[in-house]
């Protein structure tokens, strides 16, 4: 937890592939909480000439589509199979994503918002944790995580294992969290936890 001087309370929301973080993020958004989404920010960066140039310099022209856009699937296949390639891509993206998300946060603050969520899959891996007032981890046991990813993405067990290994384990993330949202049961049970945490924050922040 961090005691930076600002008027906005910033929650860092993360999880692991298949943990249900996106569903939690969507629910918070529906309650009117502004979400600063790292994946969406990355998507925007993939269209920026400077970032595109850095990525093609690192990975070659083969990762471009016929329309000269970055083929994220082709890039994904490379980085999930090769640790060094993944680290190289993260080195290009993480600093740029942080700057873009900070801009979004500043705009929300200027608009008078009192709370926002940074939705970041690689929150700890990218070293963003120190910027947050509190850290939320959406957690499920490993067997449920594997099952959900296989069903959702139609991947085989080996592909799922590679993707899970590319992130810190949910157990590691859980140990670093200020708030753990257990999403292994029914969604209604998850919502009860979320409501409780939002009521606490509203109370603490006088909202």
Give domain status of residue 150, yes or no: yes
Give domain status of residue 115, yes or no: yes
Tell me what the mean pLDDT of segment 163-187 comes to.
Answer: 90
- Tens digit of each residue's pLDDT (9 = 90 or more) over 11-50: 999 998 889 999 999 999 999 999 999 999 999 999 999 9
Is 23 marked as a binding-site residue? yes
Give domain status of residue 175, yes or no: yes
- Tens digit of each residue's pLDDT (9 = 90 or more) over 104-161: 999 999 999 999 999 998 899 888 888 899 999 999 988 888 888 888 877 788 888 8
Give domain status of residue 15, yes or no: yes
* Owner of token pair 């708030």: 179
Give domain status of residue 200, yes or no: yes
Gap between the Cα atoms of 116 and 9, Å rounded = 6
**Domain interval for residue 75:** 9-205
Residue 105: the pLDDT is 95
Exposed e or buried b for every residue in 23-48, given b needs 16+ CB within 10 A? ebbebbeeeebbbbbbeebbeebeee
Is 103 marked as a binding-site residue? no
Give domain status of residue 1, yes or no: no
Is 112 marked as a binding-site residue? no
The token duo for 59 is: 């990975």
pTM confidence score: 0.85
Is 29 marked as a binding-site residue? no
Give domain status of residue 154, yes or no: yes
* Number of domains composing the chain: 1
Q: Which residues pair with 28 in a beta bridge?
A: none
Nearest Cα to Cα of residue 1 among 166, 12, 83: 12
Give domain status of residue 166, yes or no: yes
Is 176 marked as a binding-site residue? no
CATH number for the domain spanning 187: value is 3.40.50.300
């Amino acid at each position: 937890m961090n005691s930076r001087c600002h008027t906005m309370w910033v929650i860092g929301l993360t999880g692991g592939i298949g943990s249900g973080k996106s569903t939690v993020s969507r629910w918070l958004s529906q309650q009117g909480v502004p979400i600063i989404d790292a994946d969406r920010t990355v998507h925007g960066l993939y269209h920026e000439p400077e970032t595109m140039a850095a990525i093609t310099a690192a990975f070659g022209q083969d990762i471009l589509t016929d329309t000269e856009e970055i083929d994220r699937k082709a890039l994904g296949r490379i980085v999930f199979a090769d640790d060094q390639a993944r680290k190289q891509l993260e080195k290009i993206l993480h600093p740029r994503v942080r700057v873009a998300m900070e801009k979004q946060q500043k705009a929300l603050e200027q608009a008078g918002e009192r709370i926002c969520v940074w939705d970041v899959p690689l929150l700890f891996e990218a070293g963003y944790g120190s910027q947050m007032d509190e850290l939320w981890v959406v957690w499920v046991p490993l067997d449920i995580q594997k099952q959900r990813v296989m069903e959702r993405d139609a991947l085989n067990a080996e592909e799922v294992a590679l993707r899970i290994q590319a992130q810190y384990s949910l157990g590691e993330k859980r140990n670093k969290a200020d708030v753990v949202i257990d999403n292994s049961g029914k969604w209604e049970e998850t919502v009860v936890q979320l409501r409780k945490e939002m009521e606490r924050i509203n109370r603490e922040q006088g909202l």
